[in-house]
């Protein structure tokens, strides 16, 4: 599980937390894969010459697609990371009932000696206070509770959209790469050379 996905594990809405974690995993994995492909294509760009640069144009086109997809993934992740804060704000406004328990324990001992007689006294006092607050149902409370649900629904929708866009962008880049693989990996054809040379 990615670090981004772990951020959603302890959120109050379990089903939504699972969906958000899955989305974060997919978006992060797609971004990682696109970055690796971008690195490969960048290293195969040959030196620009007067002619025969059509392959380089194709390389630049796929690099542009990759950059745009990565930027969208990054902004989607930033948006999803606001979920916990938004939900906490909505919950805080609900002023849900709370229970406060405080315990106080006092122990005192005293010893005194007179000649051969020994006097000893010990007293223990324990006090427990329970303070409960009660929130009466009101139209405002119902609206605030609906606001929490609205935050969950909004972020579920954002997660679903981010998931779909990340997968679509990844498939689009792979499709473009597959259709133009020869020109991308050998932009000058078999006669030209690229700036990337194997060490072996």
Q: In order along the chain (200 residues), what is the average pLDDT of each group of 10 residues? A: 56 81 94 95 84 85 95 94 89 69 60 53 65 64 84 93 95 94 84 46
Q: Which residue from 143, 140, 103 is spatially nearest to 125, judged by alpha carbons?
A: 103
- Per-residue DSSP letter, 186: S
Cα separation, 20 vs 158, in Å, equals 9
The answer, as to whether pTM is greater than 0.85, is no
DSSP-based three-state secondary structure for 129: strand
């Amino acid at each position: 599980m990615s670090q981004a996905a772990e951020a959603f594990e302890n959120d109050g809405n379990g089903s939504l937390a699972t969906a958000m974690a899955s989305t974060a995993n997919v978006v992060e994995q797609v971004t990682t894969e696109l970055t690796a492909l971008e690195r490969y294509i960048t290293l195969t760009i040959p030196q620009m010459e007067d002619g025969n640069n059509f392959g380089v144009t194709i390389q630049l086109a796929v690099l542009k697609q990759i950059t745009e997809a990565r930027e969208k993934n990054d902004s989607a992740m930033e948006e999803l990371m606001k979920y916990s804060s938004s939900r906490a704000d909505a919950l805080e406004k609900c002023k849900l009932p709370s229970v406060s328990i405080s315990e106080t324990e006092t122990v005192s001992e005293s010893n005194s000696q007179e000649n051969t007689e020994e006097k000893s006294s010990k007293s223990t006092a324990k006090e427990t206070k329970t303070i409960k607050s009660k929130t009466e149902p009101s139209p405002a409370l119902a609206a605030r509770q609906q606001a929490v649900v609205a935050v969950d629904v909004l972020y579920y929708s954002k997660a679903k959209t981010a998931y779909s866009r990340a997968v679509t962008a990844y498939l689009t880049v792979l499709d473009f790469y597959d259709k133009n693989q020869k020109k991308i990996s050998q932009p000058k054809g078999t006669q030209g050379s690229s700036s990337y040379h194997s060490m072996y």
